Structure 1
Amino acid sequence: MDFSQVNWLYVAGGVSGVMLLAWLIALVRGRTGFIGAVVGFAHLFAAGLNSAAPLRSAVDPTYVGYGFGLLQGDRGLTVSAMAAAVFITALVGAFSALRGSREATLLTAVTSTFFLVILGWPWLQDTLKGKYMSLQLGEYATLSGMTSAALLFVLMVAPFAIGVVWSLMRMRTAPAAVTQ
């Protein structure tokens, strides 16, 4: 099979749909409030954006490269490993934000800090320089200018900043996992 003919947007959409369904079930059963749901959804959104990259970078000969904040690379095994690590980290953050235990809240703080650094730092640098990043969704859609800067802040920077603060505040009062 020629993997360059695969519509990777459909692959990412399918994986994202399954993740969203599992996450919604966990949300209903979880022990979190509105902010925890927002933080968890931000992680889920990051996982969805990275859902096709681990496989595509390994098998698609026309893959143009991977870019997610500070993480950049061409195709190959290194990029597959990097994209898979981002995908798994985002999934861990998405589901740990829905739990009420101290340990899960610590995981949420760590993953939120990770994403705040790798996404927030380049956003801040480019915004201060007046050079706005473009938001590229595969080969099919690209946003640039102030629109992309505002959208990136709302979707990919602010929720992780909120996640760090929320997790650290919640960790003090959350029960340990063994007591739940």
Structure 2
Amino acid sequence: MGDLSGNLTAPVKSGVELAPGMRAMLLNLIREELTRVTGRAQPAAVETVRLMTEKRLESRMMLADAGDNALTPRNMALACREAMLHWLVSAHYPLQHTADLLDAVLVAAGQEPSIPHTCPDLLSPWQKVVLGLLFIQGMRLDRAASFLGMSADPLREALSEAVTRVQGLGLRVGSRHRSAQA
């Protein structure tokens, strides 16, 4: 996969003008989702995801039939989720330290975080994206491949390489983590 940062994180002026109540609802949704996925809602990330979400809403409005309301809570939630995934892939997962990402994988599997933060940053940005989509977002391999616009083979390869790289961290068969025993 090429440059992961692309233009997905660059703030883009949105053409959507939301009423103050709708904007507040959208910001709350974004903060909640950022906190759920990353553990925090930093203002710069909230603003970037807001702009990305509004661009998606704008696209939905342009594609909607004349009588349809593209700004329903359901459409806003879907647009927010799409924007969050693109932000995670382009700006969050690739920049995470291996220990932080693996701890998030453990938490997503219902385990306690236990990766020593002194471990080296073993994973490439691409491997971090693959692990984030598969184990934190819970996507199946074929869905993650479709989301990224590619076949599943490069994802399988990245997953295999990532598992090989982190085996010395205690995430292997027989470790105390149930998620590693699958």
* TM-score of Structure 1 vs Structure 2, range by shorter chain: 0.3 to 0.5
Decide which structure has greater strand share.
1
Decide which structure has greater helix share.
1
Q: Which has the higher contact order (CA 8 A, sep 6+)?
A: 1
With the length of structure 1 as denominator, give the TM-score of the two structures. 0.33
